[in-house]
Structures are given as structure tokens and as C-alpha cells.
């Protein structure tokens, strides 16, 4: 009886629009933070919320592009410090690294622009670019362009899902 009374009071005071207000208030920060670590899952959710009218698609793309690009920049700069030592310590890495780094540097623009769209390359390409000697400024510009293309792609596709959600 007491549990029913307490539960009844709790559900009576529950605000059904609380989640929508939370998303509209903190959603962009959450996207920026989450895109730093993870990508597509965040953008699928965010794009759907844009289509449902809970988020603005322009701000969503901006937050995701900046967050995702910032994460990749961290990988790039961390590689300057640690990747070269790891390559020297590993026979396996010493064997394939020269070929991979030459390929990435030869096709650096395409490698950086499309690394975000290929599974497993989002972390690998920044590491190889950094240790192979790609200039930081070039990587940063390409990384940001890639971030906007990636965010735009996923938001545009998943926006359509949100349009069909019940309101």
C-alpha cells in the first residue's frame, strides 16, 4: 500500500517533457563530447533527433564535426610522442609500417578525408600520418573538412528517420 502511494506520487510528478528539454538544452554538448570518442552511433541518434524536431541539424553537424575532429587531433599529437617507440619495439610493426606510411603519405589527402568513413581507420590514419611526418597544419585542415563531411553525411541520412517518428 505504501509502495503504491509513493509510486503514484512519483508518477504524478513525473514531467513527460523532461527528456525533450534535457536533449534540447544539453544535446549539443553531449554530441560534441560523445563524437570525440565514438562516432556513428552518436550521429545516428542525433540525426534522428534532428528529424524529430528536438535538435537543430546545423548545430548538430557543428558539434559532431568539432568533437570528432578534436578526438582525431588528440590521436595525431599523441602519436608524435608514443607511436615511434611502439613501432621500434615491435617486429611486426617495423615490417609493415614503412609500406603503410609511404602509401598514406602518397595519398594523404584522400586517406585523411575518407578515414572516418572506413571502419578501423579513424584511429589508425592519424597515427600513421603523425609518425610518417605529415605536417600538423595539413592534417588539421583535412581532418576538420573530413569531420564536417562525416557529420553532414550521417545527420542527412538519419534525419529522415526522425521525420517519421510519432510526435
CA 133/CA 136 separation, integer angstroms? 8
Quote the pTM value. 0.81
Q: Mean of the per-residue pLDDT values for the chain?
A: 85
Task: For residue 21, give the DSSP letter.
Answer: H
Where would I find the H helices in 38-135? 40-51, 57-89, 91-106, 108-115, 121-132
DSSP letters of 119-140?
TTHHHHHHHHHHHHT--HHHHH
pLDDT single digits (tens) 107-142: 989 999 998 888 778 888 888 888 888 999 999 999
pLDDT single digits (tens) 67-116: 999 999 998 998 877 777 777 888 888 888 888 888 888 898 999 999 88
* Residue 127: CB atoms within 10 Å: 21
Contact 43, 154 (CB under 8 A): yes
Amino acid at each position: 500500500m505504501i509502495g503504491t502511494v509513493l509510486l503514484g506520487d512519483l508518477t504524478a510528478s513525473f514531467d513527460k517533457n523532461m527528456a525533450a528539454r534535457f536533449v534540447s538544452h544539453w544535446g549539443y554538448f553531449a554530441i560534441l563530447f560523445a563524437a570525440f570518442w565514438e562516432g556513428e552511433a552518436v550521429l545516428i541518434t542525433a540525426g534522428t533527433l534532428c528529424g524529430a524536431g528536438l535538435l537543430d541539424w546545423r548545430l548538430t553537424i557543428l558539434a559532431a564535426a568539432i568533437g570528432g575532429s578534436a578526438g582525431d587531433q588528440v590521436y595525431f599529437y599523441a602519436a608524435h610522442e608514443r607511436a615511434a617507440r611502439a613501432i621500434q619495439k615491435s617486429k611486426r610493426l617495423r615490417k609493415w609500417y614503412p609500406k603503410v606510411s609511404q602509401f598514406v603519405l602518397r595519398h594523404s589527402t584522400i586517406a585523411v578525408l575518407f578515414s572516418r568513413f572506413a571502419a578501423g581507420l579513424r584511429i589508425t590514419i592519424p597515427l600513421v600520418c603523425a609518425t610518417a611526418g605529415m605536417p600538423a597544419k595539413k592534417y588539421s585542415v583535412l581532418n576538420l573538412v573530413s569531420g564536417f563531411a562525416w557529420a553532414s553525411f550521417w545527420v542527412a541520412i538519419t534525419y529522415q528517420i526522425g521525420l517519421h517518428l510519432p510526435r
